[in-house]
Amino acid sequence: MPTANATRTMTGGEAMAEMLRLHETGPMFGMGGFQLLPFYDACRRLGLRHYLINDERCGAFAADAYARVTNRPGVADGTLGPGATNLATGMAEAFNAGMPMICITGDTNREFSWKNMTQEARQLEVLRPLAKEVIRVEVIKRIPELFRRAFAVATSGRPGPVVIDVPEDIAHGSFDFDADDFWVDPGTLKAQARRSRPAAEDIARAAALLAHAERPLILAGGGVHISEAYGALLSLAEAEGIPVAHTMSGKGAIACTHPLSAGVFGRYDRIANAMIAESDCLLVVGCKLGEIATKRFSLFNGGTPLIHLDVVAEEIGRTTRADVALVGDARCGLEDLRAALGGDAAHRAAWTAQVPVRMDAWRESAREKLEATERPINIGRLMGELNRILPADAVLVADGGFAGHWGGLLFDTKQAGRGFVADRGFASIGYGVPGGIGAQLGVGKTRRVVAMTGDGGFNMSLGDLETARRVGAALVVCVFNNAASGYVKALQHAVFGPGAYQSSDLVEMDYAAIAQAMGCKGIRVEDPEQLADALRAGLANTETPTVLDIIVTRDPARMLPAADNRTLKVEKGDRPV
Closest CA to 439 of 425, 415, 423: 423
* pLDDT level of residue 94 (50, 70, 90 thresholds): very high
For residue 19, the SS3 value is helix
Neighbour order of strands in the sheet with 449-454: 420-422, 395-398, 449-454, 476-481, 546-551, 521-525
> Could you read off the pLDDT of 195-244 as tens digits, one per residue?
999 999 999 999 999 999 999 999 999 999 999 999 999 999 999 999 99
Distance of CA 350 to the CA centre of its chain: 35
- Alpha carbons 26 and 74: distance in angstroms, whole number: 7
Share of the chain above pLDDT 70, in %: 98
Instruction: Identify any residues that bridge with 77 across adjacent strands, giving them in sequence order.
Output: 30, 104
With 0-12 / 13-18 / 19 or more C-beta atoms within 10 angstroms meaning exposed / middle / buried, residue 508 is: middle
3-class SS string, 371-408: CCCCCCECHHHHHHHHHHHCCCCCEEEECCCHHHHHHH
Closest CA to 56 of 98, 91, 19: 91
- Alpha carbons 106 and 552: distance in angstroms, whole number: 43
- Alpha carbons 106 and 172: distance in angstroms, whole number: 11
Beta-carbon contacts of residue 347 (< 8 Å; ≥ 6 apart):
214, 241
Distance of CA 36 to the CA centre of its chain: 28
Q: In whole angstroms, how far apart are CA 550 and each of 411, 480, 534?
A: 17, 5, 10
Q: Are 262 and 271 in contact (CB under 8 A)?
A: yes
- Residue 525: the pLDDT is 98
| Cα angle value 306/309/313 (rounded, 5°) | 110
Beta-carbon contacts of residue 43 (< 8 Å; ≥ 6 apart):
17, 20, 28, 50
| Cα angle value 263/385/445 (rounded, 5°) | 90
With 0-12 / 13-18 / 19 or more C-beta atoms within 10 angstroms meaning exposed / middle / buried, residue 339 is: exposed
Q: How many helices and strands, by DSSP H and E, does the chain display?
A: 23, 20
Q: Are 78 and 84 in contact (CB under 8 A)?
A: yes
Q: What are phi and psi of 37, to 5 degrees?
A: -55, -45
Residue 102 predicted with pLDDT over 70: yes
Instruction: Identify any residues that bridge with 552 across adjacent strands, giving them in sequence order.
Output: 377
- Alpha carbons 427 and 556: distance in angstroms, whole number: 20
CB atoms within 10 A of CB 179: 12
Least confident of 143-152, 515-524, 549-558: 549-558
Closest CA to 164 of 184, 147, 186: 147
- Residue 361: the pLDDT is 98
Neighbour order of strands in the sheet with 101-107: 50-52, 28-31, 74-78, 101-107, 161-167, 133-136
State the amino acid at position 376 in one-letter form. Answer: P
- Residue 407: the pLDDT is 97
Q: Are 430 and 298 in contact (CB under 8 A)?
A: no
Share of the chain above pLDDT 90, in %: 91
- Residue 568: the pLDDT is 58
Q: Are 478 and 512 in contact (CB under 8 A)?
A: no
3-class SS string, 47-67: CCCEEECCCHHHHHHHHHHHH
> Could you read off the pLDDT of 128-167 as tens digits, one per residue?
999 999 999 999 999 999 999 999 999 999 999 999 999 9
For residue 26, the SS3 value is coil
For residue 148, the SS3 value is helix
Q: What are phi and psi of 71, to 5 degrees?
A: 65, 10
3-state helix, strand, coil in the chain (%, to 5): 45, 20, 40
State the amino acid at position 346 in one-letter form. Answer: A
Average predicted confidence (pLDDT) for the chain: 95
Question: Does 571 or 93 have the greater pLDDT score?
Answer: 93
- Residue 1: the pLDDT is 41
pLDDT mean over 244-273: 97
> Could you read off the pLDDT of 23-62 as tens digits, one per residue?
999 999 999 899 999 999 999 999 999 999 999 999 999 9
Residue 66 predicted with pLDDT over 90: yes
The pTM score is 0.96
- Alpha carbons 235 and 20: distance in angstroms, whole number: 37
Alpha helices in 187-229 (DSSP H): 200-212, 223-227
- Residue 573: the pLDDT is 40
- Residue 163: the pLDDT is 98
Domains and CATH numbers, the chain: 7-188 (3.40.50.970), 200-355 (3.40.50.1220), 371-571 (3.40.50.970)
Q: Are 232 and 335 in contact (CB under 8 A)?
A: yes
> Could you read off the pLDDT of 462-486 as tens digits, one per residue?
999 999 999 999 999 999 999 898 8
For residue 265, the SS3 value is coil
Closest CA to 217 of 168, 254, 178, 191: 254
- Alpha carbons 310 and 422: distance in angstroms, whole number: 21
> Could you read off the pLDDT of 419-474 as tens digits, one per residue?
999 999 999 999 999 999 999 999 999 999 999 999 999 999 999 999 999 999 99
pLDDT mean over 328-356: 96
Q: What are phi and psi of 281, to 5 degrees?
A: -165, 130
- Residue 574: the pLDDT is 39
| Cα angle value 337/251/565 (rounded, 5°) | 110
Q: Are 326 and 308 in contact (CB under 8 A)?
A: yes
